Amino acid sequence: MSAAIELTELTKTYVSRRVVRRGLSGLDLTVRTGEVFGYLGPNGAGKSTTIRLLLDLIRPTSGGIRVLGLDPRADAERLHRRIGYLAGDFVVDGRQRAGECLAFLGGLRGGVPARRITELADRLELDLGARIKSLSKGNRQKVGLVQAFMHDPELLILDEPTSGLDPLVQQTFSDMVTEARAAGRTVFMSSHIMSEVEAVADRVAIIREGRLVTTDTVAGLRARSFLRVRVDFAVPVAAAEFAGLPGVTDLTVDGTTLACRVDGSPDALVKAIGRHTVTGLRADGQDLEELFHAYYTGRAA
């Protein structure tokens, strides 16, 4: 399948008041056509920098960018018609009513049926008659979502789309993303919260300090997590019996108590434990959020 987004050795350096800041360093990334791609990283990681580069709102210091097979700079006009973009700092004229603003933006995209705008606004429970400046942050975000989705673009590029949305609206947003994928669209969305993209993303990339830390499927990331196991036996056991079992590390045996870490399947350990009388068992899983935090802080293996 062809790539919707292809970044090669992408570097962006900001220079302000003679201070050089590295926004992105040698980023290689491919987003396939038809996938939902979660782009994750802590504050200042370079997510918005990447997205602004995709839209040609800023220019790279070096490296290559292809979006829908085109050059964001040379083919900007053609590309913008095929993309739905929600900026992290989505701002529009606050004096306008939400409906007027969306009709205007629809016109700029070559015309969007009023019915389509109403349908999306109803789903998100957005009052089209309200003036934008009177709307809460979450409701303003809904205006941003409607304008990104309304022309049914091939590629949705969404910078922190769930910011300010309550859980019910987040669910509606997730449904809209899932439907867009079912219709063959590609979605590239940034977030700094794993749980927000976990449910909808096919693959995720984690960036930190402008560099790609890892790219994987959500299931693949989950498989990298591990268990901490503690077992109490009726009688003392020998460490040698458990050392070297597949996936078992950090093993300590203190009389009748065994503690260890298990990566991957716990099957071999469970079978070894089962040869003895067990009086207590505790297994704590590292969830995806913890694994993600380890990547954020650079402590992941």
Residues interacting with ligand ATP, by CB under 6 A?
14, 16, 21, 23, 41, 43-49, 88, 192
Minimum distance from residue 43 beta carbon to ligand ATP (Å): 3
Complex with ligand ATP: residue 49 or 141, whichever CB lies closer: 49
Q: Tell me how far CA of residue 252 lies from CA of 28, 216, 228, 246, 256, in angstroms.
A: 41, 32, 12, 16, 11
Spatial distance between the Cα atoms of 146 and 148, rounded to a whole number of angstroms:
5
* Distance separating alpha carbons of residues 150 and 147, to the nearest angstrom: 5
The residue among 58 and 270 lying less far from ligand ATP, judged by its C-beta, is 58
| Shortest CB 19 distance to ligand ATP, Å | 8
Closest to ligand ATP by CB, 142 vs 192, is 192
Task: Map tokens 């994928």 to a residue.
Answer: 181
Residue number with CB closer to ligand ATP (23 or 106)? 23
**In the complex, minimum distance from the CB of residue 57 to ligand ATP, in angstroms, rounded to a whole number:** 11
Contact, 253 vs 196, CB < 8 A? Answer: no
As a whole number of angstroms, the distance between CA 52 and CA 183 comes to 26
**From the CB of 191, what's the least distance to ligand ATP, in Å?**
9
Spatial distance between the Cα atoms of 32 and 6, rounded to a whole number of angstroms: 9
CB of residue 41 vs ligand ATP: minimum separation in angstroms?
5
- For 226, which DSSP code? E
CB of 63 to ligand ATP, least distance (A): 15
**Shorter beta-carbon distance to ligand ATP: residue 48 or 186:** 48
Least distance (Å) between residue 31 CB and ligand ATP? 17
Of 79, 87, 108, 90, the residue nearest 5 (C-alpha): 79
Contact at 8 Å (CB) between 85 and 55? yes
Residue closer to ligand ATP by CB (options 40, 248) is: 40
Number of helices (H) and strands (E) in the chain: give both, helices first.
10, 13
Q: How many CA atoms lie within 13 A of 42 on its CB side?
A: 11
Residue 12 or 181: the one with the smaller Cβ distance to ligand ATP is: 12
